[in-house]
Structure formats: structure tokens, C-alpha cells
Structure 1
Amino acid sequence: MTRDEYDVIVVGGGHAGNEAAAAAANMGSRVLLVTMNLQTIGQMSCNPAMGGVAKGQIVREIDALGGLSGVIADKTAIQFRMLNRSKGPAMWSPRVQSDRWRFAEEWRLALERIPTLDFFQDMVTGLWMEGDKLVGVITGMGISIRAKSVVLTNGTFLNGLIHIGEKNFGGGRAGERAAKGITEQLVSLGFDSGRMKTGTPPRVDGRSLDFSKFEEQEGDEAPGNFSYLNEHKITEQRSCWIAYTSPEVHETLRSGFDRSPMFNGAIQSKGPRYCPSIEDKIDRFADKDRHQLFVEPENWNSVEYYINGFSTSLPEEVQVEALRKVPGFENVRFFRPGYAIEYDYFPPTQLKHTLETKLVDGLYFAGQINGTTGYEEAASQGLMAGINAHRKVHGEGEVILDRSQAYIGVLIDDLITKGTEEPYRMFTSRAEFRLLLRQDNADLRLTRLGHAWGLASDARLQRVVEKEEGIAMLKKQLNDISIETSDINPLLESLNSAPAKQKNKVDSFISRPEIQLTHLLNLDVVKAVVDVDSLDPEVVEQVEIDYKYSGYIQKEQDNVDKMRRLENIRIPSNFAYKDITSLSMEARTKLSDIRPATVSQASRISGVSPADISVLLVHMGR
């Protein structure tokens, strides 16, 4: 610390805090990152991976806006896979297995390269308030640090309580203490708080495993990248492995249920529905004879493995006994057992869409403090909180991504509008415009925005411009080509596709599900017009998707236009909902609590019916 006052103080050095600090500092703010341990900045607390279904789309969006998660995932990748290739492009989702040590190291180094970003190691125990005005933070050593805005990204540390069987002890993560004081102060300021639960599986010694009994899961033959900059290509990959539980394993686990905090009442809070503990799985899905376990390497060279799918808070001796009954784990040695952790969160309906709190001006929440789960969800919130904190401090307007622009917009709108009572996880099904919000086009959707906000670099923008020009040129060339039946029918026959009866344009053939654009680019009639060898694979992919799904894409765009008409109808912040007796009582209560900014947001609030929206429009003179 060298400054009398910072523009932005970020509390917490996890995925949300890192993106918030980097964004605000790279945009020109003087930023201080305060964390309890500088050695755990960027720590992957749970599985050593980034991305997955819907989560991969979020990382691509962070990258397109100028965030760092995608770049660091590429730098530290030990395996790359594009999930759901057998489905439509809206479902394609990149996933990277990372080297846990190097991931944290690269985050630390990336942050240290930003000259306007300072660091301080201490626990923040409270906000520094002068009356109702936020002026900074107070640390455990009694140091008061001034700031114009504060971003809280406390993860699972707020009054964190770790459970292993009948034992429990304070902690925000294994081997690290819980954060005290902030929850109590926020509640005294009028905030509502709650408790959530998450868990993690055991880490084991790979030298004690018999990999011949597992199924090997290799990376893609032609691995891709998370970052659109494509600066770091993975040339070597490590395999993951798949194992399976059995009825015998399940019976062993059940023998410890009476000592499980999940079942004996020690844990009252809700855990993530879509990432349940192994004991929850065998209880809820008692008809299943087995469950998959993913044996994931933690690093390039370490023997430590993460047992994805075996998250548990059972007594450690039950964990060992049960896992040793899984083929391949007969002689397993633990580095540390799995555990559950309970922590405080603050229902996100108390936030604006900028992630600034409604009660305290200049205070932002991001990550698990808002009730989300997952590195990617946290990082995206941190990015948007950091951007908005910087812009507020410097007198610039707020920026918000809507549901038609990004999964990040869907995530934040869901949190603010609907709230959550269990850890929120992103899925493609949550996005009503998911065919528009693909992982392949995040740069086309968002990089111009990120550049205009002052975060995405000129190099990023130039790359997008070149990509757009390449797409336009290839489409123009293809649209001028008519393919004779004598040229196309041999190809169609080889692909078991019905022969063409007359010559036609490229788009009519590419609309067939069995035909790929690369097939057509190999035809002599196409090569005579298109310089195929110089084409960017990303350009080819975009053009193919545009041709194949043009009708569906246009339908979604029409629906976006309808939604935006309602988004343009703003509701005054002091609108007296409770005076409108023709609104349902539930609508009056929820609209008064959430204070939606637009009619479109009001329509998405659970319990607000279409009839309530009609009443609202009438009273607004529409």
C-alpha cells in the first residue's frame, strides 16, 4: 500500500476478485487487492478445470470483453475438449483441464504486471463507514484504507464452517481461516443474509491407483483455445480417467449416513442441486446401481488426483473404505478427505444490474457472496463489478449486458430479478436466446463493447474486424457460385445424401445436416472462386453456422427485438407499486422489493403475471 486513497478496493483474491481487480486497474483505476493470503491468489478451490456446458461460453465472453480467465486457462492447460460436438452449435462448450499450481501462479503474475494495481495481505473485517457513506475498508490489523468504491468477493469465507463427519471447524477453505465481521456489519446496515453449502471430494495419491481398471478420457485430437487471441497453443495433453461406483460402494457410504452432517441435521443450508455430494446422489437416486467418477490430474507433474463426482462430507474413514471398493482404488491413499463447507451469502435481489448494492452507494458484490457456484460464474461477476466500479468512480455511465447479448447478462439478470435460495449454476437452458449466444461468436458479440468500455485491447478489436471481413468475403464468394449436379452428386452419394436434381447455390446444399462447408470447399468449382488454403478455420465455422441455422437465428433475433421494446420502457425508481390495488398482492410486494429498472425486467420476476404487466403498462400511460 502506497496511496492515501484508492479508486477501487477489491476484497478477495479468487476468480471474482482477480477479474474485478484486473478490469478496474487495466481501465485506469488505482486498485488495491486485499486478500488473507497472497500465496493463494487464483487458487482453484475445487476441480482443476475451467469451462464446461454453458460455463465455457462464459469464459469465452470474459475473454471477448478483455478479461483474463481465458488467457490464463490457455497458458496452464493440460487438456482441451469441446463438449457436445454431436449436438447443435448452441450446445458446443469448451473445457480446459488446468495445472492447478501454474493457474494460480499465472494469475498472480498477470496481476503483478498491472502498474496501477497494489496488493495487501490481511483480512478485511469491516467496511469503513462515515454515517451512511462508504469510505473504505478496515482490516484485521486495525488498518483503515480509504477507497471511492469497494468490491466484496469473499467466496466461501464469510463465517465459513467446514464439516467432515461429526467434526466441524471454522474455515473458508481447507487450511485457511474463515472471515469474521463483514456479515454482521452488513446485516446491521439493513442487508438480508443467508447460508449456503458446497463441498469438495478427496484428493488422492495417483501412485496408489490402478489406471488399467479405468476408462481413459483423452483430449481433442486438434485442441482449440479458450482465448480468441490464440496466443498459447496446447501441444501436449494429459488424459483424465473414468471409474464407476457400485452397489457395494453405496452400501458402505450408507453405513456412515448417521454420522453425515447432510443427514443428522448439522447442515441446514442448501447445497448445489446440480453438483450433489455422493451421499446425496445415492440417497436421491437410489435406483441407480452406479455413478461415474472422473479421475482428474491436478498438475502436469504431480501425483495428486481430484476425484470428481465423489464430493462428500462423510467421516474420513467411511470415505476411504467406500472409495477402496471402486475398481482401481483398492489401495488408494488420501492426501486429504472431502469436506462440506457452509458460508454466508447475501440474496442478490439486493443488488442493481451493475452489481452495486441498493443500500450502500459504491459497494459491489461478486461471486459466491451472491449465491452462485463455479469459477466461471464468479469470474464473470467480478469482471462486470470491476468495470462498473471503475466507471462510477470516474463519472462514466453504468454498463449492463442484457439477456440477448451474453450468458453473463442472463446470469446477472437471473440473480437480480429472481434471486436464488440454492447455489446458482449456469446452464444453456437458462438462456432463451442460446442460439445467438454461442461460444464461437462471443468475440463478434462483445469485443466492440469491451473496447468501447476501455478494456478490450486494440489488438483484440483488430482481430474481430479481420474476422468479420473474412466472413463477409467468404459469404459473398459462395453466394456467387452455382454448383452443377455433375459436380455435387458424387459428393452427395459418398455422404449418403439424396442426389441433386438441378444445379443450386451453396446455401441450399449446406442446409443438409450431413453436409459440411469443408466438403463443399473441396469441390473444384468452389476452389476456382475461393482461396481455400488461406481461409481462417474460425471464419469457415461461422459461415457454416450462419448458413445452416439462418432461419432459427432470424427467429431468435425477432424475439430479441420484441424483448428490447419492453427493455426500452423504463420504470421510475420511486414508482409506488403498493398504491396500485389492481396489481396482485404478490406482484406489489415483489416489485416493491426488487425495484425493476424496466418493464422487461419486471416481467421476469417470479410471481409477476402477464396481467400484472398489463396493469403496470396502463398506470405508466402506455
Structure 2
Amino acid sequence: MINSYDIIVIGAGHAGVEAALAAARLGKKTAIFTIYLDSISMMSCNPAIGGPGKSHLISEVDILGGEIGKHTDKYNIQLKYLNSTKGVAARVTRAQADKYWYRVKMKEVLENTENLEVIQEVIDEILVKNGKIVGVKSSLGIEYKSKAVVLATGTFLKGRVVIGDIKYNSGRQGEQSSEKLSDSLIKNGIKIERFQTATPPRIDKRTIDFEKVTELKGEDNPVYFSIFTKKEHNLNIPTWLTYTTKETIKVTNELLKFSPIVTGMIDTKGPRHCPSIDRKVLNFPEKENHQVFLEQESVETNEIYVNGMTTSMPPFAQEKMLKTLPGLENVKIMRYGYGIEYDYIPPFQLYPNYENKIVKNLFLAGQINGTSGYEEAAAQGFMAGVNAVRKIENKEPIIIRRDEGYIGVLTDDLINKELLEPYRVLPSRAEYRLILRQDNSFIRMLEKSKEIGILKKEQIEHFEELKEAINVEINRLKNLKVYPGLENNLVLEGMGEKPIKKAITAAELLKRNRFSYNDLKYFVDIREYPKKVIEQVEIEIKYEDFIEREEKQIKRFKKLENVKIPKNFNYSNVNGLSNIAVDALNKTKPFSVGQASRISGVSPGDIAIILSHIK
């Protein structure tokens, strides 16, 4: 039996799934390996998808040819459109995915994808020859040959679950860890470090007193993640809100002596953006009313995810703390919360195409790169899968810059910034938030999508038609005059708007805060366009001045990006650079002065010296 593939993917979480689907859809013979077939696309923590920054990633992956957006739209219990009253850059979608159906149906997608084989095996070794990966070896001693490999191992590399004073080997609670693959990576010169994350207890829905909690509904007709989704009605199961109390804080303080964070059982760094209740009480002792969301995990279960009560304290402590929350006085725990420590590969060892710098044709995606979140994993997995294919086809990689998409922000930050905790995409990390909106992903990613080649020709043509219609209508409105006159001004006054004293364009009228495209019909002819076109016309015109300001910033950004640094540039020979900068630059080996300027430890003064030296 010859086990030979074009692409091998190790791990079938959100990163692995997107990598494998991308490779197979691009026509490559692909195999995806998982420790346990029934855990494909498992949502180990909260089955929530989307939110600030994360929604942008999903929409970008969607138009490039990924699966996560379409799949979440199909298999969720609730969708919400957040920040709709705020600026357009802040508007995002958030879903409570159906944990059971999402997993089951994603397994079905994989099994029915042409060119893709799904295999349950533990991979123990990478096989490397002359610095290039040639395959992998399983715990059963089977060797699988491959032209490229994508590692998407999540928290499974030497995973250690911690609950109170108990620690045991596990990739997730109840699942086998990968104990030997890390050693193989180290043996091949790859640096490895450790992170930790944690999850809250799950409780029985039937033991909640719903009269003491606040019901929160989603939307029947939400803004979906995927531009391909055609759904008239979305499932809308509520979540519920409660709060910690003075008693919660008192009890938690009394029990802190049992916290693995305090005892030292956990001494690795975890995500600050998702702190445990132990951390909240330690860091914010004066705050009493922390929000706690009760979120159902699936229509097929009574399990409720207690969002806001992450902890790895002993079981008796978890129960005691939970019972201080209004509505949970008689709660029954179905699964206890836990912490998990795991190996990851610091991402300064990556090229922007997600290929490892030490072992050729080895690509890395997801939590193995020190990230957190399903969305971050899916984006990395998709890009790693696409670029693994392009590498073996001897094509130039697909690189998304930070001025082009949130995928670019994610990639650029991982490679250039020092990770102090598991990385999470946030809008505050993106300099060009107004241009990188969720709503215009289908325009921003269109050229990259054409280059990748997963979407069908008719889909690409449809988006090109939408893009053209947007441009045509914006130009038309900028040249269409609205004249002052009794009739027009009476209409404006009736709308609560100021009258006009001289001729203005329809675009200028549309710039008024409360004016919509549909309101223009009282003054000029408007055209019937798809909702997406009208939305973009309104945004582009209303925010034109701010968009132009960001575009000028991007031009300045590109100037430094276009100043390339020679491949074998020796920073140690450059007089005047700080020792910190020399160390960081030699470690990262930036391709351009722009990239160098974003590396942790490199100052503006260092950049000026490098520019002078190159010139």
C-alpha cells in the first residue's frame, strides 16, 4: 500500500479543516489526519463565532473560498448584528453556533469533498530530508509521503489538563494528547514554547431559575457571515444574562488558595482578553457585578456554557461559586471547567505565507502559532492550505497585506510582534478600520479570490458586476444635480432637513446623516440595485472624506513596504542600531523596511538608520 499525497494536514479543528478543503478544492490529493474522527471541527470552548475583528476574518475567508462562514450560517442557534447604531467600521455579526450540528455536518462536508481523505491516526513524526518535509509517520508506524504538510494541532501537543491540584495528559478534557510530535519538531530545529487557556463549566439547563435571569434574543433575519447565504429565516434560541454578586466575589476570594494560578500548578501565560473568574477577582477586587452569559450549546442538548466563569479551580469550588449567581442557586454541573497547557511554535519562525523558515514545505496554522479563536484558526488554515498548494506548484504565494484585510493584520502581527499571550484579532490592531469593513469584504478580497481560484467563474463574474454597479452609481450621483426650488425645499423641510440654497449633487444630499439612498427618489431618479450595492453606495459616499484620509495613510504605508531589504542583509554590520533591534531583525529577517518598522524592539530611529544604509 502506497500512502502518498500532495498535501497532508495534521489536525481537524477549524484551521485543519479550512486547510484541507482549500487544498482539495484546488485539485490536490489531500489527506487530513485527526486523533478522533468524531471531534472534527469540535468547538472546545464557547461555540460562538464572530464579533469585532473576528467577523471580518470570516467574511474575508468566505469570499476567498473558505467554509466557516457558510457553515455557521447554516448551523447556529442564534445570530446577532452588533453595533448597528455605531460607525460602519464597528458593525459585526456574532453567532451562537450549534456545537453538535456544526461538528457533525462539517465531518460530512469533508467526507464528501473530492480529492480529500479523512484518516483517524496520531502523527508522531515529521519526515525531513535535506531540510525539506517529505511526509509524516504515525503512532502505528505507518509512513505517509507528501509534497507539503500543514500542522494544525490546536492544544494537543503535549496537552496537559488542569483541574484544581490534578494535572493529566490530554489534548482536550477526555481526549488523547499528542506526546511525540513536539519532540520531532524540536529535533528538526524548531523552537517550541508553552501557552495555556481555560474554559468554564457547563451546567444543566433544567436547573436554572429563568425568572432570575434576563433573556437575550437574536434576530430572525440577521446579517449573515457569508455573502452566499440565502436564508429567509434564522433559528432564534435565546441566551440569558446574569451577574456575579458581592457573595460571588467573597466566595471566590475564600477559594483562591485552591486556584492553580495561585498554587503554581499553572505557570504559563494565558489570554488576558478572556480572563478566568480567578483572574478577575485577583486583578479587579473592587468590581462585583461581572456579566455572565448562559449560552445553550446545541438544540440537541441541555448543556449551557457559562460564559464569564472560566476557571480551573477544583470541582467543589466551581460549584460553590456558581451557586452565588442569581438563577443558579440550585445549579447542576454537567462538565467542570478546566485549564489546559500546550506546546506552540512562536510565529517569528514563519514566512508570511505560513511556511516554516526552518523546514521547507512545512506550513503551520491555528493555535500552534500561538493564536486563540476559531476565526483566527480558520483564516490561518485557509491561507496555509492555499499557499501549500502554490508552493508545490512553484507559484508565488498569496500574501494579504495589513492594509488589505484583517487576515493581513493577523499574519503581519504574528510574524513581527512578540507574543506575550495567545493572540486574538481586535479592531484596535487594524490601522485602516474604515476601509477594512466586514460589509465590503467581497470587494476587498475579489482580486485575491480570482488569483486563488476556488470560487466558480460565475460567482466571480457576479461580484465583478456588483463592484461595477457600485462604481457606476457613485459616479452618477456625484454628477447628478439637485436644484433649489419650492418643491424640493418643501420636501426637505417635511423630512426635517435644511433646505438647499444652491444646486448641489445627489451625492452631497446623500451625505446628510439621516439621508438614505431611497430618500433620493424625491429629488432624482434612483435605480433598482441589489441590497449590497445600495449599502456600499451609501457608505462610500457618506464616509468619503474619512476613507480618502485612510487611503492617503495607506499610500505612505506602501512606500516603506516597497523598500525591499536584501535577503542576506546583516544587521550586525550596521552602525548605530540598538542591540535589541539587531537581535529582533536577525531573528525575523524582514522582507521590507515597512515590515521591519513593525517588529517589536525596532524603533523609528533604527528604521532611519536602515533606510540610510540601504540607500
Range class of TM-score, shorter chain:
over 0.9
Partner of 2:562: 568
**Whole-Å separation in 2 of the counterparts to 1:108 and 1:423:** 27
Offset at residue 83 of structure 1 (A): 1.3
Q: Which amino acid aligns with 2:412?
A: D
Moved more, 254-263 or 300-309: 300-309
CA contact (8 A) 2:221 2:232 kept: no
Pair 1:530-2:529 in alignment: no
**Whole-Å separation in 2 of the counterparts to 1:381 and 1:63:** 13
TM-score by length of 2: 0.96
Instruction: Tell me the SS of whatever aligns to 2:88.
Output: coil
Instruction: Tell me the SS of whatever aligns to 1:256.
Output: helix
Moved more, 271-280 or 184-193: 184-193
Q: Which amino acid aligns with 1:191?
A: I
CA contact (8 A) 2:406 2:436 kept: yes
CA contact (8 A) 2:61 2:382 kept: yes
CA contact (8 A) 1:229 1:460 kept: no
Moved more, 334-343 or 562-571: 562-571
Pair 1:134-2:133 in alignment: yes
Moved more, 293-302 or 263-272: 293-302
Q: Which amino acid aligns with 2:163?
A: I
Pair 1:595-2:589 in alignment: yes
Offset at residue 490 of structure 1 (A): 5.5
**Whole-Å separation in 2 of the counterparts to 1:485 and 1:278:** 64
Partner of 1:604: 598
> CA, structure 1 residues 244+491, in 2 after alignment: closer, same or farther (shift >3 Å)?
farther
Offset at residue 609 of structure 1 (A): 1.7
Partner of 1:508: 508
Pair 1:581-2:575 in alignment: yes
Partner of 2:302: 303
Partner of 1:145: 144
Moved more, 24-33 or 132-141: 132-141
**Whole-Å separation in 1 of the counterparts to 2:333 and 2:291:** 19
Which whole-Å deviations, capped at 9, do the CAs of 1:498-557 have from their partners, x for residues lacking one? 444445322223323333334x14x4333xx223xx331111111111011101111111
Moved more, 585-594 or 182-191: 182-191
Which whole-Å deviations, capped at 9, do the CAs of 1:61-90 have from their partners, x for residues lacking one? 000111111010111122111111121111
**Whole-Å separation in 1 of the counterparts to 2:488 and 2:10:** 61
Which whole-Å deviations, capped at 9, do the CAs of 1:562-595 have from their partners, x for residues lacking one? 2112212221221111111222222111111110
Partner of 1:431: 430
Moved more, 451-460 or 177-186: 451-460
Partner of 1:482: 482
Moved more, 345-354 or 495-504: 495-504
TM-score by length of 1: 0.95
**Whole-Å separation in 2 of the counterparts to 1:257 and 1:159:** 27
Instruction: Tell me the SS of whatever aligns to 1:90.
Output: helix
**Whole-Å separation in 2 of the counterparts to 1:96 and 1:537:** 22
CA contact (8 A) 1:77 1:96 kept: yes
> CA, structure 1 residues 603+483, in 2 after alignment: closer, same or farther (shift >3 Å)?
same
**Whole-Å separation in 2 of the counterparts to 1:180 and 1:111:** 26
**Whole-Å separation in 2 of the counterparts to 1:232 and 1:180:** 44
Pair 1:330-2:326 in alignment: no
Q: Which amino acid aligns with 2:509?
A: F
Offset at residue 208 of structure 1 (A): 1.0
Moved more, 468-477 or 199-208: 468-477
Gaps of 5+ in 2: none
Instruction: Tell me the SS of whatever aligns to 2:523.
Output: helix
Gaps of 5+ in 1: none
> CA, structure 1 residues 459+80, in 2 after alignment: closer, same or farther (shift >3 Å)?
farther
> CA, structure 1 residues 8+361, in 2 after alignment: closer, same or farther (shift >3 Å)?
same
Q: Which amino acid aligns with 1:228?
A: I
**Whole-Å separation in 2 of the counterparts to 1:371 and 1:562:** 30
Q: Which amino acid aligns with 1:511?
A: K
Offset at residue 252 of structure 1 (A): 1.3
| 1:12-27 superposed matches below 5 A | 12-27=11-26
**Whole-Å separation in 1 of the counterparts to 2:211 and 2:261:** 34
Instruction: Tell me the SS of whatever aligns to 1:46.
Output: coil
Moved more, 435-444 or 235-244: 235-244
Q: CA RMSD in A?
A: 1.7
CA contact (8 A) 1:16 1:382 kept: yes
Offset at residue 616 of structure 1 (A): 1.3
Q: Which amino acid aligns with 1:469?
A: E
Offset at residue 410 of structure 1 (A): 0.6
Offset at residue 484 of structure 1 (A): 3.9
Partner of 1:75: 74
CA contact (8 A) 2:198 2:312 kept: yes
Partner of 1:451: 450
| 1:196-595 superposed matches below 5 A | 196-220=195-219, 222-479=221-478, 480-482=480-482, 484=484, 486=486, 489=489, 493=493, 496-518=496-518, 520-521=519-520, 523-526=521-524, 529-531=525-527, 534-595=528-589
**Whole-Å separation in 1 of the counterparts to 2:61 and 2:422:** 21
**Whole-Å separation in 1 of the counterparts to 2:277 and 2:322:** 11
Partner of 1:36: 35
Instruction: Tell me the SS of whatever aligns to 1:43.
Output: coil
Partner of 1:619: 613
Which whole-Å deviations, capped at 9, do the CAs of 1:182-206 have from their partners, x for residues lacking one? 2122222222211111111111111
Instruction: Tell me the SS of whatever aligns to 2:6.
Output: strand
Which whole-Å deviations, capped at 9, do the CAs of 1:248-280 have from their partners, x for residues lacking one? 011112222111101111111111011111111
CA contact (8 A) 1:204 1:305 kept: yes
Q: Which amino acid aligns with 2:206?
A: R
**Whole-Å separation in 2 of the counterparts to 1:316 and 1:477:** 66
CA contact (8 A) 1:242 1:294 kept: yes
Length, aligned pairs only: 614
% identical aligned pairs? 40
> CA, structure 1 residues 478+201, in 2 after alignment: closer, same or farther (shift >3 Å)?
same
Instruction: Tell me the SS of whatever aligns to 2:89.
Output: coil
Offset at residue 477 of structure 1 (A): 4.2
Q: Which amino acid aligns with 1:272?
A: P
CA contact (8 A) 1:155 1:369 kept: yes
CA contact (8 A) 1:52 1:93 kept: yes
CA contact (8 A) 2:157 2:177 kept: yes
> CA, structure 1 residues 180+483, in 2 after alignment: closer, same or farther (shift >3 Å)?
farther
> CA, structure 1 residues 603+453, in 2 after alignment: closer, same or farther (shift >3 Å)?
same
CA contact (8 A) 2:100 2:300 kept: no
Instruction: Tell me the SS of whatever aligns to 1:137.
Output: strand
> CA, structure 1 residues 286+461, in 2 after alignment: closer, same or farther (shift >3 Å)?
same
Q: Which amino acid aligns with 2:526?
A: V
Moved more, 503-512 or 390-399: 503-512
**Whole-Å separation in 1 of the counterparts to 2:262 and 2:599:** 33
CA contact (8 A) 1:202 1:334 kept: yes
**Whole-Å separation in 1 of the counterparts to 2:198 and 2:491:** 53
**Whole-Å separation in 2 of the counterparts to 1:550 and 1:291:** 40
> CA, structure 1 residues 236+189, in 2 after alignment: closer, same or farther (shift >3 Å)?
closer
Instruction: Tell me the SS of whatever aligns to 2:445.
Output: helix
